[in-house]
């Protein structure tokens, strides 16, 4: 017997006015117990894997030994904001922040609209087989690991022997150095990101488009609208809520500029334009065994991302779009 | 037999099985990040590995289980996570600043060595133990490194022969040789690596090479970059870059075997094993390829800097349930009387996977077809030089280990080489050490490749000051004085 049918036999009656506050709450919880039961696994997941680990934040304010285990964390001395100050006073603090924001920004500017445009274009394709073929091909890069992807990128744009580089050298008579030239390195990161994510990210938009009432298109066609006008005045407004929500998520991830991709492609020659918060933390924290410092920088990054998320959500609400809350 | 009885019997057998296959030998877990497995992260054929393990357990009385790092680049990361976890790991090679970085995770082994490590103590010379001792005089690990001269400039002998040239002995001759190579083959290149170029060339432009140095003006010990002559070195290498001598990807990531396979590499300035190990692999594709090891000088002396012993060591973890078994196993591998054990760890079961072709000269013939990739090999130059190899792919390499690699005669010896600095303490005292290292790695490459104009050298020096290089100078100088100098 389903929860709905069980409850439908006995409609919810508001608790008596003389019931205490907690008693009323308990009655309500008991009445909806099956719904709460359904939500329980999800709640437990978030509590165990997302909230309890937050206790680990304390190590950002302590000097812990990486090998001391839980006892080591408890016994380690409190050092206040020492690790935060060290990060803020680093000669590379602004460079690392700037790189993170610029690389993320480039990925948003070029990588966020790309799947929308791609989905709009696919939506206009009527040959189902061709459409499915293009979709499948565009999804493939998503399943290729960054290790393999960076291998492909290197094979294409390595200064010596890169297929694309050699072709460009021949064409222009100049020597191109994509992976060692600070002026070109971020372009490679952005292009690779777009190539890898365009297909997979378009799925949500395509799903939202499939839910649009065909009658709207039929009415527009009767009114003489062309395909472009229909896309502009029907398709885009209809998927605007998905665009807004995904954009808010993107802003929340602004400080995640692509650790794995950069770590596998960068070198000292391009540190100045590619060393992001995550690569900095990786070198200093994980390899240098400074876990407290890594936790402090991670916490700083988390707080900043949270502020970005709130700002983006507020902006969306003010522009009349549905936000996350 | 009824079905119930059959099930009961099956359950009893399952319960008894673990005790039936229980192994008497103590089991130790080795995280083999010694570099042996960097190209064989997939590990050996499991059946072969089991047989080798059984054989070693029978011979040594200890059953070693090896944890193979997933890749050379992430081995340290894996190790750090492993040490912080509850998973077993008894023995590993302390990377980075050596055992100092892992002092909280390891145990002193002085007493264990006295009781179970006679072979180890005999095989490794007395002089190599000092750097392993902590402030209390306890030995914290078994030395991994020895003083060597691994960063040498090599030139193509076959091209020299073809052009009727001698092996260059001066910087000027080297440049003339490169010009001749490029005239002979327009694709001819010079290659190095960002981390190698200082070791191979800085000695030709500075008094001490790639080394700390004592500034007579203030009596402080300073890092290499503050030496007189470093700017000249950068300027000279920049002129090489501008002249197109260097392989264009030499200061970024590149696949060394692929570079060697082009057959266009005329000069290699870097780690020796790229020559001794890769050359035999590509010989068939680069007909007649041969290399000459050079001893190049300028008026400042040898261009190469020798590499002193560092604090890298095989260490026993605090987690080790049976530390004595760990030392017992190492002592078996490092046997002073025979090379059999180290060769078993390296090549597998004697008489089947390898054997002596000439026992007196210890010429070894391995059979690599078994697919055993040396999970139990824990290299140390002191034992690696005790045999020669009848294996075309590694014979030159093994021969080189015992000869030219330990010949320190044609490289500058670092000013404070062999001094037992506690680099981990320096990292604590200089919180911006990571920033300084990034500055050094990054900016020297930018100057060499012309991406930063040389007239900004003074700005770079100011950046180093802002990043705290003076704290570094104070920390090194303090330890230098504590250690009694040289």
Instruction: Say which residue, A222 or B77, is predicted with more confidence.
Output: A222
The band of A19, judged by pLDDT with boundaries at 50, 70 and 90, is confident
Q: Are residues A25 and A118 in the same domain?
A: no
Q: How far apart are CA B347 and CA B394, in angstroms?
A: 13
According to DSSP, the residues that pair with B297 across neighbouring strands are B170, B302
Residues 6+ apart with CB under 8 A from A8: none
A150 three-state secondary structure:
helix
Residue A102 placed within a domain: yes
In a domain, A205, yes or no: yes
Q: Are residues A190 and A147 in the same domain?
A: yes
Measure the CA–CA gap between B116 and B142, rounded to whole angstroms.
13
Strands (DSSP E) along B78-172, which ranges?
Answer: 91-94, 142-143, 151-156
- Give the C-alpha separation, B85 to B194, whole Å: 34
Provide the CA B412 distance to its chain's centre, in angstroms.
19
Q: Which value does ipTM take for this structure?
A: 0.74
Whether B346 and B367 have beta carbons less than 8 Å apart is answered as: no
B314 φ/ψ angles, rounded to the nearest 5 degrees:
-85, 125
Nearest to A277 by CA among A292, A249, A258, A251: A258
Contact A221, A230 (CB under 8 A): yes
Same domain, A167 and A74: no
Same-domain check for residues A271 and A289: yes
A324 within a domain of the structure (yes/no): no
In a domain, A271, yes or no: yes
Q: What is the DSSP string of B418-449?
A: T----HHHHHHH-TTHHHHHHHHHHHHHHHHT
d(CA B460, CA B438): 12
Q: DSSP secondary-structure letter at A16?
A: P
CA angle B159, B160, B163 (to 5 degrees): 85
CB-CB under 8 Å, B77 with A66 = no
Query: Of B420, B481, B472, which is closest to residue B127 (Cα–Cα)?
Result: B420
In Å, what is the CA distance from B226 to each residue of B141, B197, B214, B293? Answer: 33, 17, 10, 30
CB pair distance less than 8 Å for B318 and A67 = yes
Contact flag B77-A286 (C-beta cutoff 8 Å): yes
CA–CA dist A280, B438 (Å, integer): 10
**Is there a contact between B193 and B168 (Cβ–Cβ < 8 Å)?**
no
Strands B189-192 and B265-271: parallel
Count of CB pairs separated by less than 8 Å, A with B:
92
Is residue A323 in a domain? no
Q: Answer yes or no: is A62 within a domain.
A: yes
Average pLDDT value for residue range A169-185: 88
Domains in chain B, CATH or no CATH each: 23-147+310-386 (3.40.190.10)
E-state strands within B306-380: 313-316, 354-358, 363-366
- State the nearest Cα–Cα gap between B236 and chain A, in angstroms: 18
* Cα(A30)–Cα(A34) distance, integer angstroms: 8
pLDDT at site B41: 66
Residue A191 lies in a domain: yes
Pair A71, A157 in one domain: no
Among chain B residues, CA nearest to A183:
B451
Six token digits for residue A268:
């000292």
Residue showing tokens 């030139």: B155
Question: Quick one: which H or E segment has residue B216?
Answer: none
- Using a CB–CB cutoff of 8 Å, tell me whether A158 touches chain B: yes
Q: Which pair of structure tokens corresponds to residue A43?
A: 């709640």
pLDDT per residue of chain B (486 residues) written in tens, 0 to 9: 556 666 666 655 555 554 444 557 899 999 999 887 766 667 889 999 999 999 999 999 999 999 988 765 678 888 988 888 889 999 999 987 899 989 989 999 999 999 999 999 999 999 999 999 998 999 999 999 999 999 999 999 999 999 999 999 999 999 999 999 999 999 999 999 998 999 999 999 999 999 999 999 999 999 999 999 999 999 999 999 999 999 988 988 788 888 999 999 999 999 999 999 999 989 889 999 999 999 999 999 999 999 999 999 999 999 999 999 999 999 999 999 999 999 999 999 999 999 999 988 889 999 989 989 899 999 999 998 888 888 888 889 988 988 899 999 999 999 999 888 888 889 889 989 989 999 999 999 999 999 999 999 999 999 999 999 999 999 999 999 998 887
Q: In what order do the strands lie in the sheet with B388-389?
A: B354-358, B363-366, B388-389
Residue B360 is predicted with a pLDDT of 85
- Residues B440, B443, B447, B453, CA torsion sign: negative
Cβ contact A267–B253 (<8 Å): yes
Indicate whether A102 and A73 sit together in one domain: no
State residue A1's pLDDT score.
46
Question: Is there a single domain that holds both residue A128 and residue A274?
Answer: yes
pLDDT tens sequence across A111-136: 999 999 999 999 999 898 999 999 99
pLDDT of residue B2: 59
Q: What is the DSSP letter of B287?
A: T
A68 and A141 together in one domain: no
Asked if residue A325 belongs to a domain, the reply is no
What is the rounded distance in angstroms from the CA atom of residue A110 to the CA atom of residue A100? 16
| Angle, CA of B208, B214 and B219, to the nearest 5° | 165
Report H helices in A47-145.
69-75, 82-89, 93-111, 113-123, 128-139
Residues in chain A: 325
Phi (first) and psi of residue B317, to 5 degrees = -80, 160
For the whole model, what pTM was predicted? 0.81
- Of A46, A65, A90, which residue sits at a domain end? A90
- Domain finish residue from A68, A90, A112: A90
Domain co-membership, A79 together with A221: no
Residues in Cβ contact with A63 at an 8 Å cutoff, skipping those fewer than 6 apart: A76, A77, A79, A82, A292
Residue whose structure tokens are 């399943």: A143
* DSSP designation for A255: T
At CB < 8 Å, which residues of chain B contact A?
76-77, 80, 83-84, 96, 101-102, 104-105, 194, 247-249, 251-254, 258, 262, 318, 427, 431-432, 434-435, 438-439, 441-442, 445-446, 449, 451, 463, 466-467
Q: CATH no. for residue A170?
A: 1.10.3720.10
Give the number of domains in chain A.
Answer: 3
**Do residue A116 and residue A72 come from a single domain?**
no
What is the sign of the dihedral through the CA atoms of B66, B72, B74 and B79? positive
Contacts of A289 in chain B (CB under 8 A): 80, 96, 101
pLDDT at position A79: 94
**Are the C-beta atoms of A199 and A118 separated by less than 8 Å?**
yes
Q: Do residue A47 and residue A19 come from a single domain? A: no
Min Cα–Cα distance to chain B from A53, Å: 15
Same domain membership, residue A100 and residue A5: no
Domain residue limits at A4: 1-31
Count of C-beta atoms within a 10 Å radius of residue B108? 20
């Amino acid at each position: 017997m389903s929860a709905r049918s069980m409850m439908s036999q006995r409609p919810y009656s508001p608790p008596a006015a003389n019931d205490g506050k907690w008693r009323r709450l308990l009655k309500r919880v008991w009445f909806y117990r099956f719904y709460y039961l359904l939500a329980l696994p999800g709640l437990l997941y978030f509590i165990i894997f997302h909230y309890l680990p937050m206790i680990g934040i304390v190590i950002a304010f302590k000097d812990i030994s990486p090998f001391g285990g839980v006892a080591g964390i408890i016994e380690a001395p409190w050092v206040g904001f020492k690790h935060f100050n060290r990060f803020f006073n680093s000669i590379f603090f602004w460079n690392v922040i700037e790189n993170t924001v610029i690389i993320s920004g480039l990925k948003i500017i070029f990588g966020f609209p790309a799947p929308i445009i791609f989905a709009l274009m696919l939506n206009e394709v009527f040959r189902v087989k061709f459409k499915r073929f293009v979709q499948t091909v565009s999804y493939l890069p998503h399943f290729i690991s960054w290790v393999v992807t960076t291998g492909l990128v290197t094979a294409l744009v390595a200064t010596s022997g890169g297929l694309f580089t050699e072709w460009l050298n021949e064409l222009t008579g100049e020597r191109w150095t994509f992976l060692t030239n600070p002026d070109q390195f971020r372009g490679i990161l952005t292009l690779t990101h777009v190539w890898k994510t365009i297909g997979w990210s378009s799925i949500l938009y395509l799903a939202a488009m499939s839910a649009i009432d065909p009658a709207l298109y039929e009415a527009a066609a009767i009114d003489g609208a062309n395909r472009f006008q229909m896309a502009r005045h029907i398709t885009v407004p209809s998927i605007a809520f998905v665009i807004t929500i995904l954009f808010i998520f993107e802003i929340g991830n602004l400080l995640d500029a692509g650790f794995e991709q950069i770590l596998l492609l960068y070198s000292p020659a391009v540190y100045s334009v590619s060393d992001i918060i995550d690569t900095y933390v990786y070198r200093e924290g994980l390899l240098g065994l400074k876990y407290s410092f890594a936790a402090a920088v991670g916490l700083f990054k988390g707080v900043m991302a949270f502020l970005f998320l709130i700002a983006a959500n507020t902006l969306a609400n003010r522009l009349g779009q549905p936000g996350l809350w | 037999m009824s079905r119930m009885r059959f099930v009961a019997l099956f359950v009893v057998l399952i319960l008894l099985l673990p005790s039936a296959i229980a192994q008497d030998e103590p089991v130790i877990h080795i995280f083999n990040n010694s570099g042996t497995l960097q190209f064989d992260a997939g590990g050996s054929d499991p059946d072969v590995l089991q047989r080798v393990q059984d054989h070693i357990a029978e011979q040594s009385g200890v059953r070693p289980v090896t944890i193979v790092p997933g890749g050379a680049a992430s081995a340290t990361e894996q190790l750090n996570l492993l040490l912080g976890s509850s998973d077993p790991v008894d023995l590993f090679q302390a990377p980075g600043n050596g055992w100092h970085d892992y002092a909280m995770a390891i145990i002193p082994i002085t007493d264990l060595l006295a009781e179970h490590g006679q072979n180890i103590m005999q095989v490794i010379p007395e002089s190599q133990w000092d750097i392993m001792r902590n402030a209390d005089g306890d030995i914290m690990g078994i030395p991994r490194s020895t003083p060597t001269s691994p960063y040498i400039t090599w030139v193509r002998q076959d091209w020299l022969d073809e052009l009727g040239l001698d092996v260059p002995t001066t910087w000027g001759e080297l440049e003339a040789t490169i010009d001749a190579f490029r005239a002979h083959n327009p694709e001819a290149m010079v290659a190095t690596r960002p981390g190698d170029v200082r070791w191979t060339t800085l000695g030709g432009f500075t008094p001490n090479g790639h080394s700390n140095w004592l500034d007579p003006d203030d009596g402080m010990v300073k890092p290499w970059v503050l030496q007189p002559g470093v700017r000249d070195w950068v300027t000279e290498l920049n002129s090489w870059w501008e002249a197109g001598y260097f392989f264009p990807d030499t200061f970024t990531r590149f696949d060394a075997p692929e570079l060697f396979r082009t057959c266009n590499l005329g000069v290699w300035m870097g780690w020796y094993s790229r020559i001794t190990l890769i050359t035999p692999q590509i010989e068939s594709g680069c007909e007649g390829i041969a290399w000459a090891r050079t001893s190049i000088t300028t008026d400042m002396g040898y261009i190469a800097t020798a590499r002193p012993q560092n604090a890298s060591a095989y260490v026993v973890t605090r987690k080790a349930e049976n530390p004595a078994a760990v030392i017992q196993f190492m002592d078996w591998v490092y046997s002073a009387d025979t090379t059999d054990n180290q060769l078993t760890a390296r090549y597998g079961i004697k008489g089947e996977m390898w054997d002596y072709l000439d026992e007196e000269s210890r010429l070894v013939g391995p059979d690599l077809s078994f697919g055993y990739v040396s999970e139990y090999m824990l290299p140390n130059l002191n034992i690696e030089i005790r045999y020669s190899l009848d294996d075309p792919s590694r014979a030159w390499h093994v021969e080189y280990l015992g000869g030219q690699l330990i010949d320190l005669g044609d490289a500058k010896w670092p000013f404070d080489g062999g001094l037992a600095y506690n680099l981990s303490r320096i990292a604590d005292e200089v919180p911006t050490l990571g920033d300084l290292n990034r500055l050094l790695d990054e900016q020297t490459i930018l100057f060499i490749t012309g991406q930063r104009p040389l007239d900004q050298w003074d700005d770079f020096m100011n950046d180093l000051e802002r990043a705290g290089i003076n704290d570094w100078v104070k920390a090194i100088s303090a330890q230098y004085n504590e250690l009694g100098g040289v």
